[in-house]
Chains A and B, each alone.
Chain A
């Protein structure tokens, strides 16, 4: 089945850039998502990228997609303490799989030190 892998933990200083990486296996994925989860809360959609794009920028967030290597990254510029949370990468099943659900990674815990 589909699989999504992420590193478990990232620590940065406030004001630095954060880069969270993700790899996925489903080559037919059409959309790839980044979600943020704060303690005790649900998942908040941060951004997404369509598989025919290689970059998407949205304010402080930049998503890079290397479809050949099935590698996705999320860059947060000028990281703030309020960005401390768990970040999940998710792939959406492509038309080939007929799947209409998201496969999530295990999440990357971002710790921002003041």
Chain B
């Protein structure tokens, strides 16, 4: 297990199309996070899962966004009816949570361009 894997690395889509990204976390990590990073900004939290339960969603996560982690392993993030403002790097991170999490491992991200 070499780290957090995200696919695809790049995605170009036309406005109005749906896209889906996949994240495979480190296998023993029970928490999985999605962040969005736009140019010149730090990552912004979107949502996170503990095992298969989605425990928190940011107000940034509009109704067009949905995330799943059906078996508590990999996760998918779907964006419906994409808009140009959705263009960003989508980062996935995972961690192992006991009483407190120490350290999050990030994947290399999926860069989405909406044209």
Contacts and interface: CB of A to CB of B under 8 A. Distances in A.
Interface string B33-70: 10000001111110010100001100000000000000
A43 B97 contact: no
A103 B102 contact: no
A105 B102 contact: no
A106 B106 contact: no
Nearest to A95: B100
Contacts of A45: 103-106
**Could you say which interface size class chain A belongs to?**
20 to 34
A43 B93 CA distance: 9
Nearest to A45: B103
A82 interface: no
Contacts of B42: 4, 88, 90, 104-107
Interface string B59-90: 00000000000000000000000000000000
B107 A92 contact: no
A25 to B, nearest CB: 14
A108 B2 CA distance: 28
B15 to A, nearest CB: 25
A62 interface: no
B49 to A, nearest CB: 10
A71 B4 CA distance: 30
A31 B43 contact: no
Contacts of A92: 101
Interface string A34-60: 010000011111001000000000000
A21 interface: no
Given A100-B48, A102-B45, A31 B102 contact: yes
B42 to A, nearest CB: 3
B91 interface: yes
B100 A31 contact: yes
Q: 3 closest A-B pairs (Cβ-Cβ)?
A: A104-B42, A43-B106, A42-B108
Interface of A: 4, 30-31, 33, 35, 41-45, 48, 88, 90, 92, 99-107
